[in-house]
Every structure is written in structure tokens, then in C-alpha cells.
């Protein structure tokens, strides 16, 4: 390529470099680009560069006179020439031309916003296509618009969040109001329901005790069923009332120092009968038996009984339920764990376990009766104590509910106790009631009778073990050596008369007091029973007071109260 290939005329050069100018060695203008001439008309051929422009020094903000020496010194650095009128800055590159010596300046206005272009009355087409000045300004403006859009978008989101928050807040207050109304309603209704129910229960009890005269077996059974249903209804109402009270913030704890072992034993006593019906092994394991806890004893027992009765309910026959207590000195809390070998709970169901009226499997609700409020109440009562509830479970293997109750000064409280020693006791009646309490074996194949008698004897401070046929009765006597036996006569496998005969045939049990119970009440029954070896005879329906009186009459002297 020769030099001629690059020859372009002045007009073409001006199109390529519309803001260029050429000065001689004395800094006099020889030539200017078309657009520069338009926006700065006084800067024309023959004018002295320094009369119109000065060199702007970015580092000192100081204007300098433009000289050939200065141009030579700066070599490759860009020049910024400033003019006061018009207010124009040019960003330029200098080239030194020889023979004769001239200086060519190429560049364009130094503008940082499209607005500055407008002030100079410049339009896009005034810039050469190879000059990206305007493109950069447009990109800047585009970015500004993007920022503005993003701000608008953020503001829109904030507005939506604010609106939604306001809506939620309104909904929350409405919900709170509805909840309060619901709690008030429940509270009022529960009181209204309890009043007639008390009459039902009280009168059932009186009827059962024969206050209004003797009843036949069928009537007694019906009254027991009425009483049992009444008690269930009462527990449901009580739970509802408690939840409503807590929800309404009306439940106050009666905090007192309480003996933890006593609380545990009392709670176990209340589920013992249920457990025995299913042949469950009930165990109490305490790492410190002397620990005292400041809590509402009644409510804490309510928590434990709820958990224990659930454990018993959902553990199949022959399984085990353990109540453990541990002193966690580090977190200053007392930990109660109720562990069972029951049916377990699926992981996905654990979350809704503490919601009201949740029994996880509708099939289960048919198998296991319950209010569906127990765990909700447990959680609320534990939270009232400032504690927490956790649950671990595995389907088919069992569950463990852990209640943690804060206990300030726990370390001092357990000092001197059986710290570190785990005491395990199985809850046979001997462990629930004092060991010097008489132990009575009740043998009856009728569950309601069995339960009614057991309840009554418990209430009268008598320990009870149960058998459901004659064979089991004989086995239990040999196993537990009870103080006295209450023997029903009509039982499957082996009837009461045969069972009495078996026991009397054994020297070891020849003297054990046996009271025969029979619903036959036929002439000759009493004689047959006494002949078989019974010490006494009572016909069903038995008067409970009479029964206890008879029991005490036959108990060995050192075992009666």
C-alpha cells in the first residue's frame, strides 16, 4: 500500500474528525473541523490557540498556557483544552507534523452526559461514526434508566409487602378477636356443660353405691357405663376449658415447691389400671429421687398423665412404658421423658402432633378413644412453665416425649441427693402405694366389674392385681402372694370354685383369705362357695362399702389399717 492510498481531501478529513484543528509552531490556527467551527466560530484560521483554549491540568485543576515544549513533553498523554466561551472542553490527542512544524489535534468534546451535548447544540450526527463518545453516553443513560426501573420495582415490592403486612395485621387482629370469642364461648359452654354433668356423675355414683337401693347386675353395669362415659365427657370438657383458659391468658400457675418423685408416682398410679389391662410394664427411672421442683404440681401431673396415658393407649399388649426424670444441671432444667414401645408416629405427622383435635390416623381414632386435645394441652401447659416439649418416634418401635421444665438452682437442689444414681422401679401396685398396703387379687372375667372394683379399692388405699379367669388367678396368687383374693365364680377356663379348691389344696395358700363374689344369688350358692374353701361370700351387685368392710374383716390383723 502506498501513501497515495490514504490521501483524503480536507472535507473527508473533517467528516472523520469534525472537532480537529491544526496549529503552527506559534500556536496559530491553520485549520479547524466543520463541527468545531460551528460551535466555536471565533476559533478560526489565524487565531492564537491560547486566546481561546488553555490546557487543563487534571491533577491541579490549574489552567496552563499551551506551548510547543509542553506538547512535546506530554507525548502520548491526552490533552484536555478548555474554553470559557463557549463552555467547552475538548479531549484531544496531539500529533507533531514536520516541515514545516505543525501540531495536529484530534478528538472530540469531553462530555459526561447527553445534556451537556445539548448545551453545546451537538447532535449524534456531529460525531464521527468511529467516535464512541455518544454511545457511551447513551449506555450511561440506559443504565440510569435501569437503575430507575429497579428502584421503581423495589418500591413496588415494598408497597406490596407493606400492603400485605397491613392486610395480615388486620387479619391477625380479627383472628385474635375471633379466637378470644371462641375461648370465651368455650369457657362459658364448658361451665354450662359441667354443671349437669356433675349431677350425672354424682347420681351415678350414688346409684352404684346403693344409696337408692340395691340394683341387679344389668342395672349396675349400665350405671357403670354411664359413669364411665360421664368421666370421659368430663375429661374432654376439662381439657377444653383448660385450653380456652390458656388461650385467653386466664390460666395462672400455682407455683410451689413439689417433690418430683411424688408427682411421678401419683401420675403413674393414674394410668396403672389402664396399663395392667394391657399387661404393660410401667417403669419409673429417676437419676435423683430427692429433687424438688418449683412448678404447679397439679398441672405438671396433668402433663405427665396425658403423656403416660397416651403411651399406654398406643402401646400394644405386653409392651412397656417408662417415665424417666433427669436433672440437667447445665441448662438448669428438669427433664421428664415418657418412652413407650408403642405403634410410633411417622416423621411427616410429628409436626401436626400438637395441633388440637389431631389424631393422626382416622383408623386409630376408632381404635383408641381420646379427646384429641391432650397433646395440645401438654404443649400449652409446658409453655406456661417456660419449658419445651420434644418428640422422637419411629413407626412400629415406639415414641419418646421429652418435657423440659426450667428449674433454677437445680445444682443446689440436688446436692446431697442420689445424684448420678439412676433408680428404676417397676410400677406394680407395691410401688405406687406404700409397700405395707394390703395387696388384693381381684379375679373377674367382666372388665367393667374388674375396673370398678379396682378403682374403688385403689381409692381405699388397697393395692390391686387382676386376673381374668381361674387359672390366671391361681398363677397370680403363686406369683404375688396377695393378702386377700376376691374370686368371681363364673369365669372361663377354670371357674372360681375350682380355683379356690386348687389354692386350698396347696399348703402355702390354704390360709389365704378368699371372698367369693357371684351374681347367681341363688339359694345354696353361699354354701357351695364356703364348702369349696372361700372365707366369705358376697353377691353381685356388690355394695362397695360393704366389700371394703368385708375385705378388712378378713385381712390378717397386721395388714389392716
Partner 1 sequence: MYGMVNKSVQALVTTNFGIDKWEAIKKKAGVKEDVFLSNESYPDATTYGLIGAATEVLGLSADEILFAFGEFWVLHTAREEYGDMLSSAGRNLSEFLEYLPMFHIRVALIFPNLKPPRFECSDLQADRITMHYYSHRPGLSVFVRGLFSGVAKLYNTPAQITQTKFKDKGDDHDEFLVSWGDAAK
Site residues (CB under 8 A) for partner 1? 113-115, 117-118, 121-125, 129, 134-135, 137-139, 141-142, 145-146, 149-150, 152-153, 156, 160
Q: Residue 14 or 543: which CB sits closer to partner 1?
A: 14
In contact, 441 and 480? CB cutoff 8 Å: yes
Angle at 399 between CA 410 and CA 377, to 5 degrees: 65
Instruction: Name which of 124 and 367 has its Cβ closer to partner 1.
Output: 124
> In whole angstroms, how close is the CB of 147 to partner 1 at the nearest point?
10
Residue 349 CB, nearest approach to partner 1 (Å): 36
Q: 50 near 65, Cβ under 8 Å? A: yes
Measured from the CB atom, the residue of 131 and 184 that comes closer to partner 1 is: 131
91 contacts 110 by C-beta, under 8 angstroms: yes
Nearer CB in complex with partner 1: 14/359: 14
CB of 155 to partner 1, least distance (A): 9
Question: Which one, 128 or 381, has the nearer CB to partner 1?
Answer: 128
* Residue 143 Cβ vs partner 1, minimum distance, rounded to whole Å: 8
Helix H or strand E encompassing 83: strand 79-83
Q: Find the shortest distance in angstroms from Cβ 149 to partner 1.
A: 5
Q: Which is nearer to partner 1, 123 or 510 (CB)?
A: 123
- Residue 150 beta carbon to partner 1: minimum distance, rounded to whole angstroms: 7
In angstroms, how far is CA 233 from the centroid of its own chain? 29
C-alpha 274/C-alpha 500 separation (Å) is 27
DSSP 260-315: HHHHHHHHHHHHHHHHHHTTPEEEEEES-TT-EEEE-HHHHHHHHHHHHHHHHHTS
Residue 126 DSSP label:
G
- Give the shortest CB-144-to-partner 1 separation in angstroms: 10
Are 212 and 547 contacting, i.e. CB atoms less than 8 angstroms apart? no
Q: How far is CA 211 from CA 195, 215, 225, in A?
A: 21, 10, 18
Nearest CA-CA partner of 469 in 456, 450, 448:
450
Query: CB–CB of 92/106 below 8 Å?
Result: yes
Closer of 113 and 367 to partner 1 (Cβ): 113
Query: Nearest-5° angle of CA 465, CA 470, CA 476?
Result: 35
Distance, in Å, from the CA atom of 385 to the CA atom of 244, rounded to the nearest integer, reads 17
Give the nearer residue to partner 1 in terms of CB position, either 153 or 225: 153
Q: In Å, how far from its chain's centre is CA 39?
A: 75
Q: How far is the CB of 157 from partner 1 (least distance, A)?
A: 8
Taking the complex as a whole, how short is the minimal distance between the CB of residue 134 and partner 1, in angstroms? Answer: 7
Q: CB-wise, 114 or 197, nearer to partner 1?
A: 114
Amino acid at each position: 500500500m502506498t501513501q497515495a492510498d490514504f490521501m483524503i481531501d480536507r472535507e473527508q478529513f473533517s467528516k472523520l474528525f469534525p472537532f480537529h484543528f491544526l496549529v503552527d509552531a506559534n500556536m496559530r490556527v491553520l485549520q479547524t473541523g466543520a463541527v468545531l467551527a460551528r460551535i466555536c466560530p471565533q476559533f478560526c484560521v489565524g487565531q492564537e490557540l491560547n486566546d481561546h483554549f488553555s490546557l487543563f491540568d487534571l491533577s491541579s485543576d490549574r489552567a496552563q498556557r499551551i506551548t510547543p515544549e509542553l506538547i512535546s513533553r506530554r507525548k502520548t498523554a491526552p490533552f484536555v483544552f478548555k474554553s470559557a466561551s463557549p463552555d467547552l472542553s475538548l479531549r484531544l490527542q496531539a500529533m507533531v507534523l514536520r516541515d514545516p512544524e505543525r501540531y495536529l489535534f484530534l478528538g472530540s468534546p469531553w462530555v459526561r452526559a447527553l445534556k451537556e451535548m445539548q448545551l453545546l447544540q451537538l447532535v449524534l450526527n456531529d460525531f464521527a461514526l468511529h467516535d464512541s463518545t455518544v454511545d457511551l453516553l447513551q449506555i450511561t443513560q440506559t443504565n440510569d434508566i435501569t437503575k430507575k426501573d429497579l428502584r421503581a420495582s423495589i418500591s413496588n415490592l415494598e408497597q406490596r409487602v407493606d400492603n400485605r403486612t397491613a392486610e395480615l395485621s388486620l387479619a391477625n387482629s380479627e383472628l385474635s378477636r375471633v379466637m378470644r370469642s371462641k375461648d370465651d364461648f368455650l369457657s362459658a359452654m364448658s361451665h354450662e356443660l359441667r354443671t349437669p354433668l356433675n349431677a350425672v356423675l354424682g347420681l351415678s355414683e350414688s346409684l352404684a353405691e346403693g344409696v337408692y337401693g340395691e340394683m341387679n347386675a344389668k342395672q349396675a353395669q349400665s350405671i357403670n357405663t354411664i359413669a364411665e362415659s360421664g368421666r370421659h365427657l368430663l375429661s374432654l370438657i376439662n381439657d377444653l376449658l383448660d385450653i380456652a383458659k390458656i388461650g385467653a391468658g386466664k390460666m395462672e400457675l400455682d407455683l410451689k415447691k413439689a417433690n418430683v418423685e411424688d408427682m411421678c408416682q401419683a401420675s403413674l398410679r393414674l394410668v396403672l389400671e389402664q396399663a395392667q389391662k394391657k399387661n404393660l410394664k410401667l417403669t419409673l427411672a429417676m437419676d435423683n429421687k430427692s429433687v424438688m421442683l418449683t412448678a404447679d404440681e397439679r398441672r405438671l401431673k396433668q402433663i405427665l398423665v396425658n403423656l403416660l396415658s397416651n403411651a399406654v393407649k398406643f402401646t400394644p399388649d405386653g409392651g412397656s412404658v417408662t417415665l424417666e426424670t433427669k436433672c440437667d444441671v447445665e441448662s438448669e432444667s428438669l427433664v421428664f421423658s415418657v418412652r413407650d414401645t408403642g405403634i410410633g408416629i411417622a416423621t411427616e405427622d410429628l409436626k401436626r402432633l400438637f395441633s388440637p383435635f389431631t389424631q393422626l390416623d382416622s383408623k386409630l381414632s376408632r381404635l383408641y378413644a381420646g379427646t384429641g386435645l391432650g397433646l395440645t394441652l401438654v404443649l400449652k401447659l409446658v409453655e406456661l412453665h417456660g419449658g419445651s416439649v420434644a418428640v422422637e418416634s419411629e413407626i412400629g418401635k415406639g415414641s419418646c416425649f421429652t418435657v423440659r421444665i426450667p428449674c433454677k438452682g437445680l445444682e443446689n437442689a440436688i446436692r446431697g441427693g442420689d445424684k448420678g444414681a439412676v433408680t428404676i422401679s417397676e410400677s406394680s401396685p407395691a410401688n405406687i402405694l406404700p409397700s405395707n398396703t394390703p395387696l388384693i387379687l381381684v379375679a373377674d372375667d367382666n372388665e367393667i366389674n374388674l375396673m370398678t372394683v379396682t378403682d374403688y379399692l385403689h381409692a381405699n388405699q388397697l393395692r390391686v392385681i387382676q386376673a381374668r379367669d381361674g387359672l390366671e388367678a391361681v398363677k397370680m396368687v403363686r406369683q404375688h402372694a396377695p393378702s386377700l383374693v376376691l374370686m368371681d365364680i363364673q369365669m372361663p377356663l377354670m371357674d372360681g370354685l375350682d380355683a379356690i379348691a386348687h389354692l386350698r389344696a396347696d399348703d402355702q395358700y390354704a390360709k389365704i383369705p378368699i371372698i367369693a363374689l357371684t351374681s347367681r344369688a341363688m339359694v345354696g350358692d353361699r354354701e357351695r362357695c364356703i364348702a369349696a374353701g372361700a372365707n366369705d361370700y358376697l353377691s353381685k351387685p356388690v355394695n362397695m362399702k360393704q366389700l371394703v368392710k368385708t375385705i378388712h374383716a378378713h385381712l390378717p390383723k397386721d395388714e389392716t389399717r
